[in-house]
C-alpha cells in the first residue's frame, strides 16, 4: 500500500482513470473541486461548483459532471462548464456518486445532507441531454458499476449494507442482492469492477477495501491506516493499480493524519477501461 498524495481532500471521492486525461481525477466533493494527478505526481485542483459529486470522460473529449443538484458538461481542462439545469430545487438534497452505462449514459444518485431515509434517487442523463429518474426512495446512493460484459449493473444504497445486482439490457431489470457486508466491517461506499468481474468496494468506517465475487464470496481485504475509505478505481497504463480515496469527515481533529490522502494498492488484478458518456 502506497500513500500517493498528502491528505489534500476533506472528502475525497470518485477516482477515475482515463487515458485521454493527464492521469487520475477524483473529487473533493463538498469543496466542489476536481483533483488531478499527472504522471509527474503533481496534483492540480479545479473548482467546478458548490458540490463536485462525480465525473466521467466524454467520448468526444472533455468530461460530464454531477454537481450539487444536476449535471454539467466540461471541456478537457474542466475550465469551460455548461450547466444542464437543476433536477430538483430542494437545498437539503445533493448528488453523491455515479457512473456511465455501456450505452454511453451517465448516472448519479443523490442523498439528503442529513442522510434521512428515502430522500434520494438515482438519475440518468441520456446522450441527448434528457434526464430520467431511474430509482426513487434511496437513502445514500453510492457505487454503480457494470460487469465487464455489460449484462449486469451493480449498485449500493449504503444503509442497506448490500451490493445489489440488476439485469441490464438498456434498462435496469430484475434486482437481487449479491453481497451482504457485516455492519462491523464498515458501510459499503464507492465500488469498481475488475476484468474478472469481481467487485472492489470501499468500506466507510471500516478502514478497508474488500473484493467480492459476484456470488458474494470474500476474496481480498485491503487494510488502510484511516477509517473513512470512500471509493476505488483501477488505473495506471496497465490498469493494474487500485487507487483509493479517503475522507476526513467524522475524523477527530489531530487523529488519523493520513485521512484525506489518495492511496494506491497493487492487487494482482486488472481493471476494465472506464465507460464514457456519449
**pLDDT tens track for 219-257:** 999 999 999 999 999 999 999 999 999 999 999 999 999
Exposed/middle/buried for residue 82 (C-beta within 10 Å: 0-12, 13-18, 19+): exposed
Catalytic residue among 28, 97, 101, 189: 189
Check residue 55 and give its pLDDT: 98
Apex 139 CA angle, 64 and 260, nearest 5: 60
Measured distance CA(40)–CA(77) in Å, rounded: 17
Apex 94 CA angle, 271 and 84, nearest 5: 80
- In three-state secondary structure terms, 185 is helix
- The pTM of the whole model exceeds 0.85: yes
Average pLDDT, the chain: 97
Query: pLDDT per residue over 108-161, tens digit each?
Result: 999 999 999 999 999 999 999 999 999 999 999 999 999 999 999 999 999 999
What domains sit in the chain, N to C, each tagged with a CATH number?
2-265 (2.120.10.30)
28 catalytic per annotation: no
Provide mean pLDDT across the span 173-181.
98
Query: pLDDT per residue over 34-85, tens digit each?
Result: 999 998 889 999 999 999 999 999 998 899 999 999 999 999 889 899 999 9
Query: Which runs of consecutive H residues, i.e. helices, occur in the chain?
Result: none
pLDDT at 22 exceeding the cut of 90: no
Measured distance CA(208)–CA(244) in Å, rounded: 10
Amino acid at each position: 500500500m502506497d500513500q500517493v498524495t498528502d491528505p489534500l481532500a476533506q472528502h475525497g471521492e470518485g477516482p477515475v482513470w482515463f487515458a485521454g486525461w493527464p492521469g487520475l481525477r477524483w473529487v473533493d466533493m463538498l469543496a466542489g473541486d476536481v483533483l488531478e494527478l499527472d504522471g509527474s505526481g503533481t496534483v492540480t485542483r479545479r473548482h467546478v461548483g458548490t458540490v463536485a459529486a462525480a465525473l466521467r470522460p466524454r467520448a468526444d473529449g472533455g468530461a460530464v459532471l454531477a454537481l450539487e443538484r444536476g449535471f454539467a458538461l466540461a471541456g478537457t481542462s474542466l475550465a469551460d462548464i455548461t450547466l444542464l439545469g437543476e433536477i430538483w430545487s430542494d437545498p437539503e438534497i445533493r448528488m453523491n456518486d455515479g457512473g456511465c452505462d455501456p450505452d454511453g449514459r451517465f448516472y448519479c444518485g443523490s442523498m439528503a445532507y442529513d442522510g434521512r431515509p428515502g430522500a434520494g434517487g438515482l438519475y440518468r442523463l441520456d446522450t441527448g441531454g434528457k434526464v430520467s429518474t431511474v430509482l426513487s426512495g434511496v437513502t445514500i446512493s453510492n457505487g454503480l458499476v457494470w460487469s465487464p460484459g455489460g449484462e449486469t449493473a451493480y449498485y449500493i444504497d449504503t444503509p442497506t449494507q448490500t451490493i445489489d445486482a440488476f439485469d441490464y439490457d438498456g434498462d435496469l431489470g430484475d434486482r437481487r442482492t449479491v453481497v451482504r457486508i457485516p455492519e462491523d466491517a464498515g458501510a459499503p461506499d464507492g465500488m469498481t469492477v475488475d476484468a474478472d468481474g469481481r467487485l472492489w468496494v470501499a468500506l466507510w468506517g471500516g478502514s478497508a477495501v474488500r473484493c467480492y465475487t459476484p456470488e458474494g464470496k470474500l476474496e481480498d481485504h485491503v487494510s488502510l491506516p484511516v477509517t473513512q475509505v470512500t471509493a476505488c478505481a483501477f488505473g495506471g497504463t496497465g490498469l493494474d493499480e487500485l487507487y483509493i480515496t479517503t475522507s476526513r469527515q467524522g475524523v477527530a481533529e489531530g487523529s488519523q493524519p493520513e485521512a484525506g490522502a489518495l492511496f494506491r494498492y497493487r492487487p494482482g488484478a486488472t481493471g476494465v477501461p472506464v465507460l464514457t458518456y456519449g
